[in-house]
Amino acid sequence: MGGPERDKGKERRHTLAGLALMVVVVAALLYAFDLLLNNFILKTYAAPLVSYQASIIAVAVLAVGYALITLLTRILLDIVSRRIGRARAVTIKYLFSLVAYLVLAFVVLDLLQVNLSGLIVGSAFTAIVLGLASQTVLSNFFAGLVLVIARPVYAGERITFATWQFGVVAPAYPPKFFSNDFLISGFTGVVEFIGFLYVVFTLDDGRTVKIPAGIFIQALITINSRTQRMKVRAKYEVEKSVDTSAAIEAVRNAVSKLPRVAPGTVPQVFVSETTLNTYILAIDIFTESQFEEPVRSEILQSAIGTITALKSASAGKK
């Protein structure tokens, strides 16, 4: 058994020991309180303190139940993660926690002798008022609940998400042939955590952001980590003194040897733009890399070396 497994086992044993100790302490306190209540307090203040005793028991049940749910969720996450993966196990953990806390709340309310049906009917107007006052919070909660259940993305995946709430201004300079043909106004990074209210996201530049679940669920999501192959385009300006056919053939041969070219694919090189004295070569390759810029840099370096060699060879012939 490796170091991480030993650490998890040790943590689990410490949690169990803490839970057992807390149960013993709570039981001892309840026993002492019961003796004090029956032998002294109830003889003088019988009627008012019966509900007080129920309150103490309810608080004890709440504390023990909370600790037990925390322990069970950790154990469940650990066991299920080994079978179906941690990303999917987190969904089961959230659903189990939600159901368990609801059951615990009903048990505590029952110990307090609260009429749940009367409480639900009597609080209808209050619920309407609070619902109208907290539409944003509730929309985020239900959106987070859908994200947790549906799991369009998992923690650890690298994605690009685009949404109108977080606009990105497209560049107007430099000219078209030195920029992308189109831009996805999105944010790229790794999903760290999906909760009921927020999605925690680490951008490629290292900054961590939190996106409200109600906004994230509306976004266009590109899952880069599930993409098998991605097309990367680079554009390079060549002087018209260099023969077009020779440039296309030489650049295609050079780019084909790049290590990031996906197996079984052939780079495409063609003229996409022209000016008075130059023409623009568009170079397309398919790659298995998730990052475009390093691939584009290799393409451009290869094109620069190839065109420079062609120009030198042409000058030598003259």
User: Angle, to 10 degrees, between the axis of helix 3-36 and the axis of helix 46-84?
Assistant: 170
**Higher model confidence: residue 125 or residue 77?**
77
- Rounded CA separation 147/143 (Å): 6
For residue 34, pLDDT over 50 is answered with yes
**Higher model confidence: residue 207 or residue 79?**
207
State the DSSP string of 95-112.
HHHHHHHHHHHHHHHHHT
User: Residue 7's pLDDT is what?
Assistant: 56
Partners of residue 188 on adjacent β-strands: 160
pLDDT in tens, 112-129: 766 656 555 555 555 555
- The pTM score is 0.55
Which of 21-25, 83-87, 173-177, 195-199 bottoms out in mean pLDDT, i.e. has the lowest? 173-177
User: Residue 14's pLDDT is what?
Assistant: 61
* Short-list 58, 42, 144, CA closest to 95: 144
**Higher model confidence: residue 7 or residue 175?**
7
What average pLDDT does range 223-240 have in this prediction?
Answer: 87
- Rounded CA separation 216/148 (Å): 12
* Short-list 296, 163, 169, 165, CA closest to 236: 296
* Short-list 41, 43, 63, 39, CA closest to 52: 41
Per CATH, domain 150-226 is 3.40.50.12780: no
pLDDT in tens, 146-165: 887 778 888 888 888 888 77
pLDDT in tens, 277-292: 999 999 999 998 888 8
Query: Could you count the other beta carbons within 10 Å of the beta carbon of residue 214?
Result: 22
pLDDT in tens, 283-318: 999 998 888 888 999 999 999 999 998 888 777 666
What average pLDDT does range 20-29 have in this prediction?
Answer: 63
In the block, residue with structure tokens 């840099």 = 297
Helix H or strand E segment including 280: strand 278-287
* Chain CA centroid to CA 298, Å: 30
- Rounded CA separation 284/314 (Å): 26
Would you list the domain boundaries of the chain?
Answer: 3-114, 150-226, 230-317
User: Residue 50's pLDDT is what?
Assistant: 45
For residue 41, pLDDT over 50 is answered with no
For residue 180, pLDDT over 70 is answered with no
State the DSSP string of 146-193.
HHHHH-SS-TT-EEEEE-TTS--PPP--S-GGGS-SS----EEEEEEE
For residue 6, name the pLDDT band (cuts at 50, 70, 90).
Answer: low
CATH code that applies to domain 230-317: 3.30.70.100
For residue 46, name the pLDDT band (cuts at 50, 70, 90).
Answer: very low
